[in-house]
């Protein structure tokens, strides 16, 4: 596995979210200048080698979680392979929730491949599969547009950025106040959105809304519940390089 070229000085700033059930649906990232793969493109490389040229970065905060514990606040990074639609998650994504996992490869087919290295240095992989739910055809009426728009991931490097629109979340049974930012994208976000549904130790600190139409993504969100707040924000989609090879593992 090779990783190079994380561009220094990203200054990433985003805020992570674990919305109540109605709000745990995904939002979308508008791709105004990015080159991305369409959602029906799935071409796993026969040789088992995946190369990721983009990394997506969020920063998050969840004051329900005590200070100093995982998930309270921090940055989250995930890698995307435009040619196959695959996502790669590392400790930059799931922290120390699975200390023996080197990475998790997530495919648009719903397959998740986790690479492990044990205390003796032996390498192996485990596979599990999720059935992704059928996406909604339109935004639910519980999302009310505010008319506000904002560009996420602005930069001076020519990296992609996404233009998103703000929506208030209408809760019927709680006084929680939530705003989410939704954008359009051609990237298949389902492997990211449904990552935390897996029966696995590795968990992302950000929960995304799962029931949005295909081609929509949640780039930011904020929920206020009394004195507590939960928020996340996409800060950058940067050029990068990360390579993995399934052939490096005994039971690939």
Give the tens place of pLDDT for each residue, 212-231.
888 999 999 999 988 899 99
How far apart CA 109 and CA 34 sit, in angstroms, is 23
Contact 39, 214 (CB under 8 A): yes
Mean pLDDT of 74-81: 97
Q: Is residue 14 part of a domain?
A: no
Name the H helices within 35-109: 91-94
Q: Report the range of poorest mean pLDDT among 32-36, 69-73, 225-229.
A: 32-36
Q: Is residue 212 part of a domain?
A: yes
Q: Is residue 73 part of a domain?
A: yes
Side-chain-side CA neighbours of residue 222 (13 Å): 10
Q: Is residue 164 part of a domain?
A: yes
Percentage above 90 pLDDT, the chain: 60
How far apart CA 69 and CA 97 sit, in angstroms, is 11
Number of domains present in the structure of the chain? 1
Q: Is residue 9 part of a domain?
A: no
Q: Is residue 219 part of a domain?
A: yes
Give the tens place of pLDDT for each residue, 110-151.
999 999 988 888 889 999 999 999 888 888 888 999 999 999
Q: Is residue 250 part of a domain?
A: no
pTM: 0.79
How far apart CA 49 and CA 152 sit, in angstroms, is 31
Q: List the domain range (segments joined by +) for residue 218.
A: 19-244
């Amino acid at each position: 596995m090779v990783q190079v070229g994380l561009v220094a000085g990203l200054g990433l700033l985003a805020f992570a979210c674990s919305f109540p059930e109605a709000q745990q649906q995904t939002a979308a990232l508008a791709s105004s200048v990015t080159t991305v793969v369409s959602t029906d493109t799935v071409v796993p490389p026969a040789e088992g080698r995946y190369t990721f040229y983009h990394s997506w970065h969020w920063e998050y905060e969840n004051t329900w979680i005590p200070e100093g514990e995982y998930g309270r606040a921090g940055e989250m990074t995930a890698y995307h392979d435009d040619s196959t639609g695959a996502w790669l998650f590392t400790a930059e994504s799931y922290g120390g929730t699975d200390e023996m996992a080197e990475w998790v490869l997530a495919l648009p087919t719903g397959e998740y491949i986790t690479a492990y290295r044990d205390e003796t240095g032996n390498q192996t992989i485990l596979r599990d599969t999720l059935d992704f739910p059928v996406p909604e055809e339109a935004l639910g009426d519980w999302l009310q547009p505010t008319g506000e728009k904002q560009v996420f991931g602005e930069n001076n490097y020519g990296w992609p950025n996404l233009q998103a629109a703000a929506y208030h979340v209408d809760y019927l049974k709680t006084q929680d106040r939530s705003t989410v930012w939704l954008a359009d994208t051609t990237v298949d976000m389902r492997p990211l959105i449904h990552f935390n549904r897996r029966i696995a130790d590795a968990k992302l600190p950000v929960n995304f809304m799962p029931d949005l139409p295909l081609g929509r993504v949640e780039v930011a969100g904020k929920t206020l519940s009394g004195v507590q707040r939960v928020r996340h924000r996409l800060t950058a989609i940067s050029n990068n390089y990360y390579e993995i090879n399934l052939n490096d593992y005994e039971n690939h």
